[in-house]
Amino acid sequence: MKSDCQGIILYLFTKTLKCKSLVIIFVAILLATFCLPKISSFAYFISEEEDLFLKVQKYVQFNHKPKITKMKLYVTAYSSTREQTDDTPCIAASGYDLCAHNKENVVACNFLPLGTKVKIPQFDPDTIYTVVDRMHERFNSRVDIWMTSSAKAHQFGLKYLTVEIYE
């Protein structure tokens, strides 16, 4: 659109200089009045869209109150070893690569959908965990925290803690 308007304006300007017709001058003024403001404000318009998107995102972030369900559950820990997982110890059930990310902010859980956010305030009140993995079917009411080392997982043991589930 920008090049079309510029071409028309340039053509009309050269015609105006050659024949000095009032009609061509009038059309050139109209085109300059209605095309140039749109062209010059195009970049500003895009930044306004981005600002609007960020405003909506911030509004949802601050005004969306998730439903929090609190449950007392057994919480254990595991690491990426073949003894504690299947034959692909670094790949979670969701496809998430535990070893590549190497962050202790994910859990395995059978009764919650993948992607659910949980918090375990008695263990680590500042960390929000994401359900990315599943456990053996015999552990249907347990949460299993992924840890970077087998020693840390064994040291954690089995605890009965309050788990906050964010829906």
Q: Give the CATH architecture of domain 68-166.
A: Beta Barrel (2.40)
Q: Are the CB atoms for 8 and 2 separated by under 8 Å?
A: no
pTM of the predicted structure, to 2 decimals? 0.60
Question: What is the per-residue pLDDT for 84?
Answer: 63
Question: What is the per-residue pLDDT for 108?
Answer: 93
> 22 or 162, which is more confident?
162
> 85 or 96, which is more confident?
96
Residue range 69-86: mean pLDDT, rounded: 85
SS3 93: coil
Residue range 15-31: mean pLDDT, rounded: 65
Structure tokens at 51: 């600002």
| Alpha helix stretches (DSSP H) within 110-166 | 150-156
Question: Domain locations in the chain?
Answer: 2-63, 68-166
Lowest pLDDT segment from 43-47, 65-69, 96-100:
43-47
Residue range 3-31: mean pLDDT, rounded: 65
Question: What is the per-residue pLDDT for 70?
Answer: 94
